[in-house]
Structure 1
Amino acid sequence: MNTTEPVPAAEVIDGVLQLTIATSAAGTSMDFDLITAGTAALRALDPSVGAVLLTGAGANFCAGGNVRDFAGADDRGAYLYAKATDLHDFVRALIDAPVPVVAAVQGWAAGAGMSLVCAADIAIGGPSTKLRPAYPGIGFSPDGGMSWSLPRIVGLSRAREILLTDAILGADEAVRLGILSRTVADTDIRTESLRVATSFVTGPRATHTAMKTLLAQSPTATLTQQLDAERDSIAAAANSETGQEGVNAFIAKRKPNYTTITA
């Protein structure tokens, strides 16, 4: 008899939307019930939420898609089309989230799991963390946005090598390439990731949103366009409640209080 407690798909704790993407069931492969629930939670993001935390509930962050399910589908192409559609809805919702997204990357992040690491704003791993595209091993091409995000993180030439050779990246290499933000002890990954996510809850949320917007548009913007966007953004910030509280606190030599500001 399986007495394992069900894992909440999405729950808000202390202002952090915690999204589980995989469990110990099926070898920590991606759980699409959790993915679709996460998409719904992101699309209905409550104003009280100041950050998103992505995590796996087993030994690994996410070992990728469930290949046994792929194999058992009557029409594998149609099955993968539907699964990729659901995953990509989740990725779009993550990228569009106005708050920082933190990934607690314990163990393996393979296939679509690696794609989600690349979609996070901050990804924290440990010495035992490993990342791998994993698609060539089953004769598939990437999904989850990896062919878009990975070149923007590591450069096109390095992305080609990683994807085409199905490279296994250890934690140190992933940090050097910028896929992982940093590492902590394996036993501290979840705790530290939650601490980082929680720290955003009491911070200047409008600033975080503005930063994410500027960073998202920068890859396709010209320098002139980006300078104009930065000018417009900082001018708007100066007249916002967040900007006024920040400047006033600086002048008064006190810690700013952003907790009562919702916009």
Structure 2
Amino acid sequence: MSQAPLLYTVEDGVACITLNRPDSLNSFNTEMHAEMRKALKAVRQDSSVRALLLTGNGRGFCAGQDLSDRSVAPGEQAPDLGESLEKRYNPMLRALKDMPFPTICAVNGVAAGAGANIALACDIVLAARSASFIQAFCKIGLIPDSGGTWTLPNLVGMARAKGLAMLGDKLTAETAEQWGMIWRCVDDGVLQEEAMNMARHLATQPTRGLALIKRALHASSDNSFNEQLDLERDLQRLAGRTEDYREGVSAFIEKRRPTFKGE
């Protein structure tokens, strides 16, 4: 019996999705895409979930697309890669970006191609010291997808984004941290523990407010300063009407630890 292409658990308010095709460095095939869609839908529908942790099993996080699913023999018609993005990758990336609570990615090994950009679509990225990020698309004549052409310039600037995308060089986790691409590089042996501790912490926080923070930050690259001020006004109005805000202020005044419910 073949193993499940991904593992899904929920505990302490944290949904954990583990990519589970270690023999192929957790590269995506049709079956894995289908299971990922189910898992992301389950995350959104489970009212107990207040944080999502994404990681990989084995020595790699994700090598991107399984190219054996896309091999083209001489004389055969080339596959429509745009259709693949539209039906599989783009919905997955939108679902990750739009999660109404924090998303954490624990990059346990190489993250290449779409795998790198899936990781970078999460809110907070922790990476093992042995991990690396590779925009491998240029090696086979493709462009970075899965949001890479948007994410990379926003994270590291245009000069570095062009170098990464056009050279396809391996970027170590330590350099990724130095460049501001990821939140933190940690020793391999503590990656999963640190990532889970962070996810559990965030699951106890005012997650509706955190979702509004995400919304404001995501809009900032397209807004003028005045437009961003207006958005802050509108979102702060929403945040001020949450039960978590009421609880946070009460706890501060009463000098006690707040109990947030994400409401």
Q: Give the TM-score of the pair, scaled to structure 1.
A: 0.90
- Alignment equivalent of 1:16, drawn from 8, 14, 17: 14
Deviates more, 1:105-114 or 1:20-29: 20-29
- Alignment equivalent of 1:37, drawn from 35, 38, 52: 35
| Contact 1:124–1:189, Cα closer than 8 Å, also in 2 | yes
Deviation at 1:253, TM superposition (A): 0.6
**Corresponding residue of 2:67:** 67
What's the secondary structure of 2:33's corresponding residue? helix
1:223 aligns with 2:237: no
**Corresponding residue of 1:149:** 151
1:198-234 deviations in Å (ceiling 9; x for gaps) = 1111111111111111111111111111112212222
| Contact 2:5–2:20, Cα closer than 8 Å, also in 1 | no
Letter in 1 for 2:13: G
Change beyond 3 A, Cα 1:262–1:169:
closer
Q: How many residues align?
A: 258
| Contact 1:21–1:31, Cα closer than 8 Å, also in 2 | no
Gaps of 5+ in 1: none
Amino-acid identity (%): 34
Change beyond 3 A, Cα 1:27–1:245:
closer
What CA RMSD, in Å, does the superposition of the two structures yield over aligned residues? 2.0
Deviation at 1:52, TM superposition (A): 1.0
| Contact 1:91–1:144, Cα closer than 8 Å, also in 2 | yes
Deviation at 1:77, TM superposition (A): 2.1
What's the secondary structure of 2:54's corresponding residue? strand
Letter in 1 for 2:66: N
Deviation at 1:95, TM superposition (A): 0.6
| Contact 1:150–1:159, Cα closer than 8 Å, also in 2 | yes
Change beyond 3 A, Cα 1:140–1:241:
same
What's the secondary structure of 1:28's corresponding residue? coil
Letter in 2 for 1:203: Q
**Corresponding residue of 2:54:** 54
Q: Distance in 2 between matches of 1:47 and 1:117?
A: 24
- Alignment equivalent of 1:117, drawn from 96, 119, 125: 119
Deviation at 1:48, TM superposition (A): 1.2
Deviates more, 1:236-245 or 1:91-100: 236-245
1:241-262 deviations in Å (ceiling 9; x for gaps) = 111100110011101001xx34
Q: Give the TM-score of the pair, scaled to structure 2.
A: 0.90
Gaps of 5+ in 2: none
| Contact 1:22–1:29, Cα closer than 8 Å, also in 2 | no
Change beyond 3 A, Cα 1:22–1:132:
farther
Describe how 1:97-116 pairs up with structure 2 within 5 A.
97-116=99-118
Q: Distance in 2 between matches of 1:15 and 1:77?
A: 40
